[in-house]
Amino acid sequence: MTTTTAVSEQITRAERFHALHASEAPVRLVNAWDALSARVFAASGAPAIGTSSFAVALANGYQDGQNIPWSAVCDVVRSITNAVDVPVTVDIEAGQGGSPETVAAAVADVIARGAVGINLEDGIPGQPGALFDVATQRERVAAARAAADESTVPMFLNARCDVWFGASIAADDQLDAAIARTTAYVDAGADGVFVPGLTDLTMLRQLIEAVGVPVNVMHWPGLPPYEELVDAGVRRISQGGSAFLYAVANLECLTRAFLGDMPDTFGGGLVPAFHMLPVLGYR
CA dist 266 and 227 (Å) reads 36
The set of residues, in sequence order, having a beta carbon less than 8 Å from that of 133 and lying 6+ positions away, is none
CA dist 18 and 208 (Å) reads 18
Q: Say if CB 147 and CB 107 are below 8 A apart.
A: yes
CA dist 3 and 260 (Å) reads 52
**Structural domains of the chain, ranges and CATH numbers in brackets:** 3-240 (3.20.20.60), 245-283 (no CATH)
pLDDT for the residue 124: 98
| Three-state DSSP state, 218 | strand
CA–CA distances in Å: residue 172 to residues 183, 206, 248: 19, 14, 37
Predicted structure pTM score: 0.95
CA dist 182 and 215 (Å) reads 10
CA dist 189 and 186 (Å) reads 5
For the chain (283 residues), the mean pLDDT of every run of 10, in chain order, is: 84 98 96 97 97 98 97 98 97 98 98 98 97 98 97 97 98 98 98 98 98 97 96 97 96 92 82 82 69
Query: By 3-state DSSP, what share of the chain in percent is helix, strand and coil, each rounded to 5?
Result: 45, 10, 40
